[in-house]
Amino acid sequence: MKKITEIDPQTAAQQVLPMLDEISPSMCMAKWLWSSIHLTNGLTNSCFLPPLHKIDPKAVENNPRALHNTPEKKAQRKMMLKGEQPEGCNSCWKVEAQGKQLSDRAYRSSEPWAQQGWEEVIATGSEGDIDPTYLEVNFNHACNLACSYCSPHLSSKWAEDIEQNGPYPTKVPHNSIEYFKSIGHYPIPNREHNPYVEAFWKWWPELYPKLKHFRMTGGEPLMDKNTFRVLDYVLDHPRDDLNISITSNASVPKKNWDRFVDTVSFIDEYKKLESFRLYVSVDGWGEQAEYMRDGLDFELLWNNVNNYLTRTKDGLVTFIVTLNMLSMPSVKKLMQGILELQRIHNVKKTRRDDNGKLTYYGNHRVFVDTPALHYPAWQSLKVLPEEFWHYGDECLEFMKANTDKQRESRWVGFKPHQIKRFERSLDFMKQGFPTEQDKINAQENFVRFFEEYDKRRNLNFHKTFVEFSPYVKRWKKNAILTSS
Residue 10 is a binding residue for ligand SF4 (CB under 6 A): no
Q: Which is nearer to ligand SF4, 20 or 426 (CB)?
A: 20
Residues 6+ apart with CB under 8 A from 427: none
| Closer residue to ligand SF4, CB minimum distance, 50 or 152 | 50
Closer to ligand SF4 by Cβ: residue 27 or 60: 27
Q: Is 31 in the site for ligand SF4 (CB under 6 A)?
A: yes
HEC secondary structure over the chain:
CCCCCCCCHHHHHHHHHHHHHHHCCCCCCHHHHEEEEECCCCEEECCCCCCCEECCCCHHHHCHHHHCCCHHHHHHHHHHHCCCCCHHHHHHHHHHHHCCCCCHHHHHHHCHHHHHCHHHHHHHCCCCCCCCCEEEEECCCCCCCEECCCCCCCCHHHHHHHHHHCCECCCCCECCHHHHHHCCCCCCCCCCCCHHHHHHHHHHHHHHHHCCEEEEECCCHHHCHHHHHHHHHHHHCCEEEEEEEEEECCCCCHHHHHHHHHHHHHHHHCCCEEEEEEEEECCCCHHHHHHHEECCCHHHHHHHHHHHHHHCCCCEEEEECCECHHHHHHHHHHHHHHHHHHHHHCEEEEEECCCCCEEEEECCCEEEECCECCCCHHHCHHHCCHHHHHHHHHHHHHHHHCECCCCCCCCCCECHHHHHHHHHHHHHHHHCCCCHHHHHHHHHHHHHHHHHHHHHHCCCHHHHCCCCHHHHHHHHHHHHHHHC
Kindly report the backbone phi and psi dihedral angles of residue 411, in degrees, each rounded to the nearest multiple of 5, phi listed first: -95, -5
- Minimum distance between the CB of residue 402 and ligand SF4, rounded to whole angstroms? 32
Q: Minimum distance from CB of 30 to ligand SF4 (Å)?
A: 4
Minimum distance, C-beta of residue 18 to ligand SF4, in the bound complex (Å):
17
Binding residues among 51-110 for ligand SF4 as defined by CB under 6 A: 89, 91-92, 103-105, 108
**Min dist. Cβ of residue 29 to ligand SF4 (A):** 8
Closest distance to ligand SF4 from the beta carbon of 374 (Å)? 16
Taking contact as CB under 6 A, which single stretch among the options 26-34, 61-69, 311-319, 384-392 is the one that binds ligand SF4?
Answer: 26-34
Task: Pick between residue 46 and residue 217 the one whose CB is nearest to ligand SF4.
Answer: 46
Q: How far apart are CA 245 and CA 102, in angstroms?
A: 27
Cβ nearer to ligand SF4, comparing 85 with 403: 85
Is 49 a binding residue for ligand SF4 by CB under 6 A? The answer is yes
Binders of ligand SF4: how many residues, by CB under 6 A?
A: 14
CB of 72 to ligand SF4, least distance (A): 12
CA atoms of 289 and 387, how far apart (whole Å): 21
The single residue among 42, 50, 195, 392 that binds ligand SF4, judged by CB under 6 A, is 50
Q: Closest distance between ligand SF4 and the C-beta of residue 86, in Å?
A: 7
Query: By C-beta, is 47 or 252 nearer to ligand SF4?
Result: 47
Min dist. Cβ of residue 88 to ligand SF4 (A)? 7
Q: Please state, in angstroms and as integers, the Cα–Cα distance from residue 431 to each residue in 82, 155, 394, 425, 439, following that order.
A: 38, 31, 18, 10, 12
| Least separation in angstroms between CB 204 and ligand SF4 | 24
Is 47 an interacting residue with respect to ligand SF4 (CB under 6 A)? yes
Residue 1 CB, shortest distance to ligand SF4, in Å, is: 19
Between 10 and 307, whose beta carbon lies closer to ligand SF4?
A: 10
Q: How many whole angstroms from its chain centre is CA 376?
A: 16
Using CB under 6 A, pick the residue from 35, 36, 44, 46 that binds ligand SF4. 46
Question: With respect to ligand SF4, which residue has the nearer C-beta, 91 or 306?
Answer: 91
CB closest to ligand SF4, residue no: 89
Least distance in angstroms from the C-beta of 95 to ligand SF4:
9
Q: What is the CA radius of gyration of the chain?
A: 23
Write out the binding residues for ligand SF4, residues 350-409 only, by CB under 6 A. Answer: none
Q: Does 114 bind ligand SF4 (CB under 6 A)?
A: no
Q: Measured from the CB atom, is 100 or 193 closer to ligand SF4? A: 100
Cβ distance to ligand SF4 smaller for residue 20 or 278: 20
How far is residue 401's CA from residue 366's CA, in Å, rounded to a whole number? 18
Shortest CB 70 distance to ligand SF4, Å? 13
Stretch of residues binding ligand SF4 (CB under 6 A), selected from 27-35, 114-122, 236-244, 374-382: 27-35
146-147 and 347-352: which strand pairing?
unpaired
Query: Would you say 88 or 392 has its CB closer to ligand SF4?
Result: 88
For residues 31 and 212, which CB has a smaller minimum distance to ligand SF4 in the complex?
31
Task: Please select the residue that binds ligand SF4; options are 28, 316, 325, 326, rule is CB under 6 A.
Answer: 28
**Residues that bind ligand SF4 in the complex, under the rule CB under 6 A:** 28, 30-31, 46-47, 49-50, 89, 91-92, 103-105, 108
